[in-house]
Structure 1
């Protein structure tokens, strides 16, 4: 179990540690601002393809080999960063890096889901959320420190070696996860993949969470500037929601994810996200901004583990890989949509936060009213 959580940290560390450096690295290779944007977005685009491909391959070949292949492939692609000569080559490397990275997380979560007892799924997913949060907090500083002290290539060599080491650990120390916990007969489907209303709610909720996070990442620095606060405040604000989420994941509060109805907790989480965005849209000082980030952290903590647990519970044994593949495709697509909408809509930071509030509440109301939603759709 500890190895799986470490692998999840390493998988997301690969992404987060490149956030502060990929833009200047692309420009150092001669990329224009437009091309730099394409290079940054290419990873998330191909990551979606990798997530969906992982879902198919995991159900056919098992999660362990897909996890190993994904980590090994990422290790190779990290090395190719060091030999790219121009921006065009970097686009190709980013595409295959995202494709390979898309194999890792669905495979890791499929293995994780097979190793926890039926009654502790929510807690297991809470710990996995803490692993993602830890990577999000330590990744950017690691990337910035290594690249500024030793150069871009040193960071790529470090990440390549780290991936290779844990790929070998996965190969030799992880047991194949063939044994799954029993599922209710209503969740079994002999023909194709069954998209239930609960699964659809999980997918849309994680999409909304990452979409609002994209809006938050884009608009928060602008809001700080507009309120004439110091620009350095943005970092602590973003860290606040991550720290709050990790505390909820790791402290005894994580018991709530196995006691209460998971769809209800997800709905409560979406309400917290809406309230946080509304507070941000009305903020006039630093205290209100920090209050909003605390509320957002609570919402994030409620949504991530419960939506993962819903996928675990509502997907059949033979289609669990596909279920997690679609889940993380929605995760990646949310990142793309949030950034794209923020940059393309001619709205002020306050209006962007209000827009996020409205779409979150509309989705929540749509599902709670059950408008035009079938109980399940077979594919």
Structure 2
């Protein structure tokens, strides 16, 4: 008999609730009253690991029983409330008999591939700079090592888009999964800065093959009336990667090593490659019939909708790069513990995920993409301005929550706009350039602010003004974003 997904959720939920009580009721008093700081370190690491399992159990339950997503939202919120998990367990025990396990939706493998691609990115954030230093890299080389992944990712994105239109997304997904998983294993052999640079170039390039093919596959197997909602649901997996990735790598790297963290991600990649070969292979010829149409079009697909989608992708990740670069420095300048930066980023991710999975995701099929795009980029710009003026923990959490709302509106909007503005025959190429803009945005966000003569406050203000100006541009240019080319 199969173990019911709700039962798995209940078990992990109770463990998460117990570990939270131990952290708050025992470990924290030991640290702040009796000065035993190691108690929080140990119990906090255990609680973080259990929370990751709990988050995966929430995701598994949502997939297998397809219940109202308010249940998933309630389960996630309960994890942050003392005794919340136990109250939820009482409710779930009553609900378990009402929900049967649904047939496995093979399209969810594509969502899992998106999750893998983004968790591959997010696990690097807390550990790559320290890992580079540990193998002898200077501060200058550390900066190069961190940025190389996104830079070479750009070229992988473009190649993936071109090849996806020629041979179909299935083959590119398989190649990307196998090569990326293999590249992750190469970190086991890194013992010098030069070798690390070589591995980063390889890793960034092959990882860039995955996302354009995955989003093309998803877009071309979805009816137009549901594109926005499906893209929002895909964004849930991006958000979960943003929440789980840094926590997982931080905990595991402190207990084991950075190469071990990458090996765990590689195992996930190889597992998805096997599942893809079994369940997705029947789609591998879906795009071959379109090759002549692609060649006939001579690769022309740029129009107002595409250009705005690309601009939105660039500025979304430009903003992310600024947050990753300036927020830890801002928190440190205010005198707070560096761990606050991580929890603030997790808070924005949680807010974004809630908007993705709640009925609010219906707005992306009902409102024009330009409208929700302008709203999203505007809220992100406003939050950048407010961060510069925020000095308390509460105000920082509120502002990062606002940033999460903006992110949640912007991400599905630019994807939906791109889908509606491009024919299926050229969607792979369109997504290739689209995610190249993502990668370039990350590089620009962290590097441009470093080159400009701004302090931390001025950097946030500059970014906020740039985003708000782009939001105004989108709002004032709501002409029909069609497939018609210039």
TM-score strictly above 0.5: yes
Residue 376 (structure 1) shift: 8.7
Tell whether the 8 Å contact from 1:244 to 1:294 is kept in structure 2 after alignment: yes
Name the stretch that deviates more: 149-158 or 255-264.
149-158
Aligned to 1:185: none
1:305 aligns with 2:412: yes
Report the 3-state secondary structure (helix = DSSP H, G, I; strand = E; otherwise coil) of the residue aligned with 2:297: coil
Higher relative contact order (CA 8 A, sep 6+): 1
* TM, length-normalised to structure 1: 0.92
1:151 aligns with 2:260: no
Aligned to 1:244: 351
Residue 136 (structure 1) shift: 1.0
Q: Tell me, in whole angstroms, the C-alpha distance in 2 between the residues paired with 1:290 and 1:142.
A: 21
Report the 3-state secondary structure (helix = DSSP H, G, I; strand = E; otherwise coil) of the residue aligned with 1:195: coil
Name the stretch that deviates more: 317-326 or 158-167.
158-167
1:170–1:298 CA distance, 2 compared to 1 (3 A): same
Question: How do 1:1-379 residues align onto structure 2 when only pairs under 5 Å count?
Answer: 1-174=107-280, 175-176=282-283, 190-370=297-477
Report the 3-state secondary structure (helix = DSSP H, G, I; strand = E; otherwise coil) of the residue aligned with 1:194: coil
Report the 3-state secondary structure (helix = DSSP H, G, I; strand = E; otherwise coil) of the residue aligned with 2:302: strand
Report the 3-state secondary structure (helix = DSSP H, G, I; strand = E; otherwise coil) of the residue aligned with 2:298: coil
Q: Tell me, in whole angstroms, the C-alpha distance in 1 between the residues paired with 2:259 and 2:325.
A: 28
Residue 231 (structure 1) shift: 3.5
Give the count of matched residue pairs: 371
Q: Tell me, in whole angstroms, the C-alpha distance in 2 between the residues paired with 1:340 and 1:96.
A: 21
Q: Tell me, in whole angstroms, the C-alpha distance in 1 between the residues paired with 2:264 and 2:123.
A: 11
Tell whether the 8 Å contact from 1:269 to 1:302 is kept in structure 2 after alignment: yes
Residue 230 (structure 1) shift: 3.9
- Listed as ranges, the gaps of 5+ residues in structure 1 are 181-187
Q: Tell me, in whole angstroms, the C-alpha distance in 2 between the residues paired with 1:154 and 1:19.
A: 15
Q: Tell me, in whole angstroms, the C-alpha distance in 2 between the residues paired with 1:43 and 1:259.
A: 37
Tell whether the 8 Å contact from 2:374 to 2:474 is kept in structure 1 after alignment: no
Q: Tell me, in whole angstroms, the C-alpha distance in 2 between the residues paired with 1:84 and 1:357.
A: 39
Moved over 6 A (4+): 374-377
For residues 28-66 of structure 1, the C-alpha deviation after alignment (integer angstroms, 9 at most, x for no partner) is 221111111111111101000000001110000100000
- Listed as ranges, the gaps of 5+ residues in structure 2 are 1-106, 288-294
Q: Tell me, in whole angstroms, the C-alpha distance in 2 between the residues paired with 1:121 and 1:248.
A: 16
Q: Tell me, in whole angstroms, the C-alpha distance in 1 between the residues paired with 2:220 and 2:482.
A: 26
Q: Tell me, in whole angstroms, the C-alpha distance in 1 between the residues paired with 2:112 and 2:174.
A: 14
Tell whether the 8 Å contact from 1:114 to 1:179 is kept in structure 2 after alignment: no
Residue 179 (structure 1) shift: 5.3
For residues 205-230 of structure 1, the C-alpha deviation after alignment (integer angstroms, 9 at most, x for no partner) is 12111111111122222222333344
1:118–1:334 CA distance, 2 compared to 1 (3 A): same
Tell whether the 8 Å contact from 2:420 to 2:482 is kept in structure 1 after alignment: no
Tell whether the 8 Å contact from 2:377 to 2:406 is kept in structure 1 after alignment: yes
Q: CA RMSD in A?
A: 2.3
Report the 3-state secondary structure (helix = DSSP H, G, I; strand = E; otherwise coil) of the residue aligned with 2:172: helix
Residue 178 (structure 1) shift: 5.7
1:313–1:25 CA distance, 2 compared to 1 (3 A): same
Q: Tell me, in whole angstroms, the C-alpha distance in 1 between the residues paired with 2:396 and 2:338.
A: 13
Q: Tell me, in whole angstroms, the C-alpha distance in 1 between the residues paired with 2:469 and 2:143.
A: 30
Residue 377 (structure 1) shift: 9.3
Residue 367 (structure 1) shift: 4.1
For residues 318-360 of structure 1, the C-alpha deviation after alignment (integer angstroms, 9 at most, x for no partner) is 1100111111001111100000022222222221111011111
Residue 152 (structure 1) shift: 2.8
Q: Tell me, in whole angstroms, the C-alpha distance in 2 between the residues paired with 1:12 and 1:230.
A: 27
Q: Tell me, in whole angstroms, the C-alpha distance in 1 between the residues paired with 2:227 and 2:325.
A: 33
Residue 277 (structure 1) shift: 1.3
* TM, length-normalised to structure 2: 0.72
1:116–1:225 CA distance, 2 compared to 1 (3 A): same
